[in-house]
Amino acid sequence: MNDSPGWATPGSSPSDSERPSTDGSAQQPAPPAQPAQPAGDPKWSAEQPPPGQWSNPGTTPAAPQPQPQPTGGWGQQPGTPQAGQYGPQYGYPGAPGPWGQPPAAKPGVIPLRPLGLGEILDGAVATMRTHWRAVLPITLVVATVVQVISVIVQKFMLDDLAISASPDTGPDELIDAIGSTIGASAVVQFIQVLGTIVVTAMLTMVFSRAVLGQQSSVSDAWRESRPQLLRLIGLTLLMALGAVLLGAVLILPGILADAVGLAVLGFLIWLPLLAWLAVKFTLASPALMLEKSTVFKAFGRSSKLVKGTWWRIFGITLLTTFIAGFISAMIVMPFQFLSIFAFSGGLDALADGSPADMNNWGALIAPAIGLIIAQTIVMPFQSGVTVLLYVDQRIRREGLDLELARAAGLENYGTTGG
């Protein structure tokens, strides 16, 4: 077990006698040293190699004769690697090689060095593909719970809402309809964000094992994340409460003073502040789960890790959100069309001016099924990017790669330039 402060690695590291070598092969124990035999011992001749490979004891060995080197047009000098020799030279950290530093060790889904954008995205996808038996059940259950709650909320909050194309609809009815829609959407989005945070926390243990090249299961993830669940709930509530209070402070004065301009100005200030705080604390959840810290320490750790790289993390998070949104839209769109044309009257209802019933059970359940499928795929991708961003920042700031290498059983990592 990795007991160093600030990192709670699931599972146990191999013992020193059983750890694999850094080239991926099992490390064999060194044979016991044989005592030197005197020159006259009869055992000496039995262990002697064929003549010509060493001189008699006490004599100076002759200088080795240079061997002719094959010519092949590249001007190879004695000692230069031949074709097919490059792989073994780079098979372990610190291996010699003519092309500079060898590749970083990669015991799991990412190399143990500062990560690029492509490596973070690839690491998240590789974890989903390699550890799908643990990833998909967690996301499927959470996505189903989130969508069931969302359908119930929409059904009862929009029960009296009927969007009609009739020109007789007055402004008051239209405002009420828009207000109800915004309110229901806000509740649904909050539930979605909450589910995403919970999935990120539960999958943190799966991703931390994947970084080390270790397998995990749903029961392992549950057992390792359960002690932090209450603190996770507190962290999630504080994040939501902070966003609401910030919006109330900036927007509510304009509403109470009946000053539309002031309210709009407060809203325009609230949005960038909310984005800044969201990125600043985006690593709080993995810090809480992996470091076994308190809620406020997790906020502090996230702020410290993000400091100086806000724009980079913002860009990666924004790109991840765009990719996830595109994939979700492609999956949900057919179910949305099914909801409109099969359960809501479709274009015929709009043509004859009859209200389109978008709040019956069929119209709500059809897109919910599409969202369950989409979120089962998208949520682990977003969660994985968040966890790998946390690992990347700790590698850059705190040299976490050395600790991860020891946990993965890589001997002498970092002592020879690896």
Contacts of 300 (CB under 8 A, 6+ apart): none
CB 108 within 8 A of CB 212: yes
User: Can you give the pLDDT at residue 394?
Assistant: 95
Spatial contact of 251 and 263, defined as CB atoms under 8 Å apart:
yes
The tens digit of pLDDT for each residue in 196-252 reads: 777 877 889 999 999 999 988 888 888 888 888 889 888 988 988 999 999 999 998
pLDDT band at 173 (very low <50, low <70, confident <90, very high): low
Instruction: Report whether 240 contacts 156 (CB < 8 A).
Output: no
pLDDT per position as a tens digit, 74-93: 333 334 444 333 333 444 44
> Does residue 20 sit in helix, strand or coil?
strand
Distances (CA, A) of 184 to 179, 190, 339, 357, 359: 9, 10, 18, 16, 12
Q: What is the pLDDT of residue 103?
A: 74
Domain that holds residue 154: 117-407
Confidence of residue 352 (pLDDT cuts 50, 70, 90): low
Residue 6 has pLDDT above 70, yes or no: no
pLDDT tens, position by position, 277-319: 999 999 999 899 999 999 999 999 999 999 999 999 999 999 9
Instruction: Count structural domains, the chain.
Output: 1
Nearest partner of 304 among 274, 277, 283, 278, judged by Cα: 283
Answer yes or no: are the C-beta atoms of 134 and 206 closer than 8 Å: yes
Comparing CA positions, the residue from 203, 217, 10 lying closest to residue 133 is: 217
The token duo for 115 is 């990560």
* pLDDT greater than 80 at residue 174: no
Helices 117-130 and 132-157 cross at an angle (nearest 10°) of 90
pLDDT at 18: 40
Confirm whether 320 is domain-assigned: yes
Q: Among 217, 226, 192, which residue's Cα sits nearest to residue 132?
A: 217
Of the pLDDT bands very low, low, confident and very high (cuts 50, 70, 90), residue 57 is very low
CB atoms within 10 A of CB 111: 17
Helical residues (DSSP H) of 344-409, grouped into ranges = 346-351, 361-398, 400-407
Specify the 3-state DSSP secondary structure of 167. Answer: coil
Q: Identify residue 352 by its one-letter amino acid code.
A: D
The Cα 8–Cα 208 span in angstroms is: 9
Q: How many other β-carbons are positioned within 10 Å of the β-carbon of residue 173?
A: 14
Residue 158 has pLDDT above 60, yes or no: yes
Q: Is 379 contained in some domain?
A: yes
Residue 31 confidence (pLDDT) above 70 = no
> Do the Cβ atoms of 249 and 269 come closer than 8 Å?
no
User: Does residue 21 form part of some domain?
Assistant: no
Instruction: Give the residue ranges of DSSP H helices in 35-131.
Output: 42-46, 86-89, 117-130
Nearest CA to 314 out of 287, 352, 275, 351 is that of 275
| 132 part of a folded domain | yes
| Pick from 24-33, 101-110, 137-146, 163-172: least confident | 24-33
Looking at the domain assignment, is residue 371 inside a domain?
A: yes
Q: Name the more confident of 280 and 367.
A: 280
- Residue appearing with tokens 């690896």: 418
Whether 90 maps to a domain, the answer reads no
Residue 403 lies in a domain: yes
Rg over CA atoms, the chain = 31
Residue 415's pLDDT is 65
Cα distance between the two ends of the chain: 23
Over 220-253, what HEC string results? Answer: HHHHHHHHHHHHHHHHHHHHHHHHHHHHHHHHHH
357 has pLDDT over 60 = no
SS3 26: strand
Q: What is the Cα–Cα distance from 16 to 56, expressed in whole angstroms?
A: 39
Q: What angle, rounded to 10 degrees, do the helices at 310-343 and 361-398 form?
A: 170
Instruction: Give strand pairing partners of 83.
Output: none
Residue 63 located in a structural domain = no
The count of residues in the chain is 418
Mean pLDDT throughout 163-176? Answer: 57
Check: pTM over 0.85? Answer yes or no: no
Instruction: Name, in order, each residue with C-beta under 8 angstroms of 17's C-beta and a sequence gap of 6 or more.
Output: 29
pLDDT of 171 higher than 70: no
| Mean pLDDT computed over every residue of the chain | 75
| For residue 25, pLDDT beyond 80 | no
Residue 397 has pLDDT above 80, yes or no: yes
Question: pLDDT, tens digit, for every residue of 98-130?
Answer: 444 567 789 999 999 999 999 999 999 999 999
